Amino acid sequence: MSWDAEGAARAIAAAKVSGIDFLEIALLDPTAIDAALGRRLLEEAELPAVCSLGLPEAVWASRNPEGAKDFLRLAIEKTAGLGATALTGVTYGGIGERSGLPPTDSELDNVARVLEQAARLAADVGLAFGIEPVNRYETHLINTAAQGVAMIERIGAENMFLHLDTYHMNIEEKGAGNGILQGRDHLRYIHLSESDRGTPGAGTCDWDEIFVALAAIGFDGGLAMESFINMPPEIAYGLSVWRPVAESAEQVVGDGLPFLRGKARQYGLI
């Protein structure tokens, strides 16, 4: 969760030991990222990367579009500087952003303007740009694959893609398979996250439904294992994670990674 010199070196070394194919780097504070150092470490390890984020409250796109544009501009610069291939996540808002009402036309108009500029800036430096629908407890703006598709098609940028997450789909979709099918034309990235955000395979997500749907649409994008073990307080608050979701990071990687790889092989995705 901290991409400083120590955190980057630790994450890259652990990824290489585990045979992980790529890293997702959380750009929680783009100003603190040493992009040149990170790029050198990633290139030395021959390890591709994707960057992700959620917008801080001060620059939520729904109510501060100019601030959101500035924040995303810097995040895109850092993503490109790291040599990553894409910036994705809750790029349209905050983790924990809820107004108490359904999204208004004004809020969605603000979001669309921000995303349109961000997608253009990303394209200018050769990056793909994603949006991740998240559940109703973390945002009121975009919760489902269909809502994500609607925003992407509203903007019409060729480098924009849909980023789904099995944890959120387990809450919001009428079956994860239906969400994958609804997003099929734009789906390029998916978080494989268990129902309690812990170790994949140890919860209630229907992994066969998920993988058979991915196989059915010919998915060839990023399969990212996601779990939350050690988090800074502001992220734990936004995600409403109040207890350990697994015994250790070693358990998540040691049990969850082989489980997901086995499913991906079973359904011909790797």
Residues annotated catalytic, as ranges: 132, 226
Cα–Cα nearest to 133, from 163, 110, 159: 163
The 8-class DSSP code of residue 90 comes to: E
Q: Pick from 183, 229, 186, 250: which is nearest to 210 by CA?
A: 183
Closest of 192, 92, 182 to residue 142, by C-alpha: 92
Distance CA 213, CA 215 (A): 5
Strand-by-strand arrangement of the 187-192 sheet = 23-26, 49-54, 86-90, 128-131, 160-165, 187-192, 222-225
Residue 57 DSSP label: G
**Torsion (CA) 76, 48, 183, 209 in degrees, nearest 10:** -150
The CA–CA distances, whole Å, from 180 to 186, 209, 251, 270 equal 10, 10, 28, 18
